[in-house]
Amino acid sequence: MSEPRRPFKPTPTRVPAETEPDEAPSAKMRWIVRLGTLLVRALASTWRLRVIGDEGLRAEREAGRAVIITLWHGQMLPLLYHHRGEQVAVLISEHRDGEIIARIAMALGHRTVRGSTTRGAGRALLSMVRQVESGQDIAVTPDGPRGPAKSFAAGALIVAQRTGAAIIPATVVAPSAWHLKSWDRFMIPRPFARVVISYGAAAHVKAGDARAASSEAPRFQALMEDAERAAVAL
């Protein structure tokens, strides 16, 4: 069974909502999002959730420091549900599928930053820095939006270097799950599946500039892999 969800500290300052969808959704989009959100809540309420290794995340939050949560694109769904209502600002790409995911994420109590390493990269990077500097946690898929899957790109590292915020690796293992036929094999745990969410220790980028920060990608790739191995071991 899932553990009781711990209370979340309020955000000290909110940056302007320029990072969130600013166009009114169509009637079709509203129905897709409404149905999708209901299905996610209904399905996820059956999962047997276990959380491990989140001491670093809790310590950073208790100290009032914003964090950068890194997660693989294909493992997004269980983490969106687990962190529901926490107003984490999630980086989501600007294509149509991203629009649906963004609105479902918002319905679950998240904020969104729109963009990716291939489209809207500069605006997204600036928005993420502003979110962290305002005291807002952010979540980034370092292998998104198009892969390669489970390959750590530099965006989160640059934000960490500019803000001094810690990166918290987050991975998910669910032995019983559907996987979409997409580049990331997007994971949807089946009803009543055992789902393990594994966090790594808080880690800081040690570089002095963005170029040097990018070179630390192998270290953070290894931290993500360590967190996933810990989940697999259970």
Phi, psi of 57, rounded to the nearest 5 degrees: -60, -45
For 117-150, write each residue's pLDDT tens digit. Answer: 555 577 889 999 999 999 999 999 999 788 899 9
- Is 37 inside any structural domain? no
Range of 54's domain?
48-232
What pLDDT sits at residue 18?
Answer: 42
- Is 41 inside any structural domain? no
| Residue 128 CB contacts under 8 Å (≥ 6 apart), including other chains | 68, 89, 91, 113, 138, 140, 155, 159
Q: Are 179 and 187 contacting, i.e. CB atoms less than 8 angstroms apart?
A: yes
Q: Are 115 and 66 contacting, i.e. CB atoms less than 8 angstroms apart?
A: no
For 44-57, write each residue's pLDDT tens digit. Answer: 999 999 999 999 99
What pLDDT sits at residue 28?
Answer: 85
Mean pLDDT of the chain: 89
- Is 4 inside any structural domain? no
Give the count of domains, the chain: 1
Interatomic CA distance for residues 194 and 1, integer angstroms: 9
Is the pLDDT at 22 greater than 70? The verdict is no
- Is 106 inside any structural domain? yes
The interaxial angle of helices 27-44 and 96-107, nearest 10 deg, is: 60
* Model confidence, pTM: 0.88
Q: Which residue has the higher pLDDT, 179 or 121?
A: 179
- Is 21 inside any structural domain? no
- Is 12 inside any structural domain? no
- Is 7 inside any structural domain? no
- Is 6 inside any structural domain? no
CATH number of domain containing 210: 3.40.1010.10
